[in-house]
Structure 1
Amino acid sequence: MNKLILAAGLCVLFLGACSKHSEEAHEDIRTLKVEDLPDDIRIPGKAYTELQFVPPHEEGGHGGAPAATPAVVFAEVTVTLKEKSPGTLKDGDIKIKFPRGGGQVNLADYVTDQAGSFYVNFEFPDFENATQKKILFVSKARKRRLDNQIYGGGCNQFFDITKKAEKAMTADGIKVNTVRERYTSVLGGHFLFSALKEGSVYLAQVTFKDSAHTHLFCEDF
């Protein structure tokens, strides 16, 4: 396991504060601006290699020497929660703007117990003009069977969702359902964004948890 380091020590450099957030009106949607730097997260080593765009056969370089990797720059990312079914979100649609490196969403703060659907979308500005893009999902949701379908990716499993996620990002986003907390099994884990441009890799992550339904997640989450 490799650690995607989003160190608290960067707070002075990027923000000047480590425990603030504010709300503002923007584009007819409530916007929450988070200034807390994210906690460190652990992801599979292979996933971290993919985020750095290092081909598998070059991981060890020639003659066992480490392969050169681009410099890493932590980037900003924004999450939007938007109702499809009115009443599924506690305070309606909301945009959550994270600082460099990303952050965490506690779905218990936003989602009601009303049956219906809502959309989750992402904005990752550094995809613009990138020569390569990658979106990975590291699941932290237990697998469970609901109506003869399996929900949840399983503990510490990761998936390349670049094409599907990019397509969703250009539309309304990923549609999830609140019935029997299906949304927790779909979103529970880390969404990892990576863009290669100008010789650097721009990284950010969004972690989804739900403090009201912790039994649906892996023990180490």
Structure 2
Amino acid sequence: MMANLFSSFDPSTNWNTSINWTSTILGMMIIPVSYWMIPSRNLILWNKIISILHKEFKTLIGPKIKGSTLMFISLFSLILFNNFLGLFPYIFTSTSHMVLTLSLALPLWLSFMLFGWINNTIHMFAHLVPQGTPPVLMPFMVCIETISNIIRPGTLAIRLSANMIAGHLLMTLLGNTGSMMSMMMINLLLITQILLLVLESAVAIIQSYVFAVLSTLYSSEVN
């Protein structure tokens, strides 16, 4: 019996090893071979999504850094794969853990900060005081902007993991009550679970997009 409800999301197996973390690369294994070999509808659809994301990220970043959209599109694809895989039964949702989300957000933020403070020091100092701030409020604004800069990787990681675990937790709670319900209530429960699954599919797309867009916005500030 599990010690608490959240332990159902722990990456543990019967062999006391974190084999469930292999779900982060499981998405690459279930892609059909025809996707890579011949032009198909799946490939055309994915290329269309990538081209739209490329144009949007390029607008946010600007023309200064070449090829940087590839990194953010890859980040979007990785998170999207892991979010969707977590909706399948008995597959560990790796993006619901801070270990993965923070290891994605922290190196990105740290590299942006190092690049900005080393190459554009004056520009980074100017970001600490928004334009039009009264002189009296400038010290407070510097403190507020510094704190908001420091907590950025934490907010990125917590937003993704909390949104992914919330829906899964609700579906788990509702699913555990099925054995105690009547036939009519089970039918209602199935409809509710299907609606929640559709909602979680939308959340999986939105959260991966939000993570990638916010990372892009943070990188555009250091140029």
Q: Could you tell me the TM-score, scaled by structure 2's length?
A: 0.22
Larger Rg: 2
Which has the higher relative contact order, 1 or 2, with Cα contacts under 8 A spaced 6 or more apart? 2
Q: Could you tell me the TM-score, scaled by structure 1's length?
A: 0.22
